[in-house]
Amino acid sequence: MCYHNRCICWKPQQEIRLLFGVEPSPTDAFKQVIAYCTSKGLPLIVGSDANARHIIWGSSDINLRGSSLMEYLSSTDLALLNIGNRPTFMVSAREEVLDITLCCSRISHELTNWHVSDEESLSDHRYIFFEHLNVTSQTLRSRNPRSTNWDLFTDLVAAKFHRYSPSIDTPSDLDYAVDTTTTFIMEAFEEACPLRSVKITRGTPWWNSDLAKLRKQCRKSWNRRRLAGSEAFRSACKAYRKALRSAERSGWKNLCTNVSSLSEVSRLNKILAKSKDFRVNELRLPNGDLTSSDEEVLECLFSTHFPGCVDITSSDEPDIFSCSYDSLASARSILTIESIEWALKSFAPFKSPGADGIYPILLQKGFDYFKHVLKNYLFAVLLLGIFPNPGGILL
């Protein structure tokens, strides 16, 4: 883990709070975070460019900021992780320990191997690493429908739907039959397409050999700064940063330019939506408290952007509509096995599934084994005048 950027990052889903800051120490915001985590019993890790000197964390002397910060830390339950006096801040004319890492005392034994790295950070501040004993890497596992054993899938579907002909006379019968059909299809899919470990092999698309050479030159200049001075290092860093920004912008521009179809836009949107970095985790309420759940976040957003809105509780009774005899007769002539099959095949096979998790390809591959069941469902919808509960195969 490395903390050198000056920002604030919250990770409530992991029950760990990380705070980065450079304001006068200790700031009111810093104190509020400490008080909040203490009151909620949350484990806390703080990485800070404190710009404060104190011999306790390895600085060469003590300044007013360091003295004030140390006095405050003595009144809290925070433990200092800094070890030794290796400089965390380095320029040509000065080296000092200005960055500190703190944590609540109850997890201090879980954080080990704190050290200042030799790796070039291309900044005045050095990388700081430490290990968290209770954090283990998780292997990402998912199902790729394109890797499904379709022979096995169709065999399983055929076995599950053999002699399955549900009788649908009431709305509850319809809901139960739709849920059963959905379960049969998903069980067959999950067995024919087991979870597999996902290997991330894609590199940064805009990275190129020129950037690699410039980064290598920066590291060489850093290693030789004692003999050749820091001017060469600063020039190399400037050239590298300029090329890096240009490559990032060009890469993003090319990506946006090449997105020309609706499916590509939809795929990009889903990729961004899945990223945890874009989740709204905590908001400050009007009373000064922070939200602690997704429900409170949504309630805060609604009350802020739609003031005066009122929750409308829907009735448990299904919405009933009537279907005349003539309309039903027309539906019988339109709703055929052929028309249902045509409708299913009009979908892209691997289009993203809905709430039921069923890809169109699953319905297309197994259609011959449950086509009469689907037809009965659709007729039941017209006869009973209701739709099944959301999340079923019909929706």
Beta pairing partners, 48: 100
Report the pLDDT averaged over residues 295-301. Answer: 86
Lowest mean pLDDT among 154-163, 283-292, 335-344, 360-369: 283-292
Report the pLDDT averaged over residues 323-330. Answer: 67
Report the pLDDT averaged over residues 255-259. Answer: 79
Residue 113 binned pLDDT confidence (cut-offs 50, 70, 90): very high
Q: What is the DSSP letter of 95?
A: E
pLDDT of residue 133: 87
What count of Cα atoms within 13 Å lies in the side-chain half-sphere of residue 382?
17
pLDDT (tens digit per residue) in 62-84: 998 999 999 999 999 999 999 99
What count of Cα atoms within 13 Å lies in the side-chain half-sphere of residue 192?
22
The alpha-helical segments, DSSP class H, found in the chain are 28-40, 64-73, 150-160, 171-192, 209-223, 225-228, 231-258, 262-274, 294-305, 325-334, 337-345, 360-384
Taking the C-alpha atoms of residue 94 and residue 191, their distance in angstroms, rounded to an integer, is: 63
What count of Cα atoms within 13 Å lies in the side-chain half-sphere of residue 292?
9
The residue with greater pLDDT, 13 or 317, is 317
**20 pLDDT exceeds 70?**
no
Is this prediction's pTM over 0.85?
no
Report the pLDDT averaged over residues 263-267. Answer: 73
pLDDT of residue 186: 95
pLDDT of residue 202: 63
Residue 306 binned pLDDT confidence (cut-offs 50, 70, 90): confident
Lowest mean pLDDT among 17-26, 115-124, 250-259: 17-26
Residue 5 binned pLDDT confidence (cut-offs 50, 70, 90): very low
Taking the C-alpha atoms of residue 257 and residue 248, their distance in angstroms, rounded to an integer, is: 14
Percent of the chain with pLDDT over 90: 34
Q: Which of 247, 193, 184, 186 is nearest to 215 (CA)?
A: 247
Question: Could you give the 3-state DSSP secondary structure of residue 45?
Answer: strand
Residue 304 binned pLDDT confidence (cut-offs 50, 70, 90): confident
**214 pLDDT exceeds 60?**
yes
Burial class of residue 38 in the structure, from the number of CB atoms within 10 Å of its CB (0-12 exposed, 13-18 middle, 19+ buried): middle
**178 pLDDT exceeds 70?**
yes
Report the pLDDT averaged over residues 320-337. Answer: 70
Residue 22 binned pLDDT confidence (cut-offs 50, 70, 90): very low
Report the pLDDT averaged over residues 119-148. Answer: 84
pLDDT of residue 17: 38
pLDDT of residue 168: 84
Report the pLDDT averaged over residues 195-222. Answer: 81
pLDDT of residue 81: 95
Report the pLDDT averaged over residues 285-295. Answer: 82
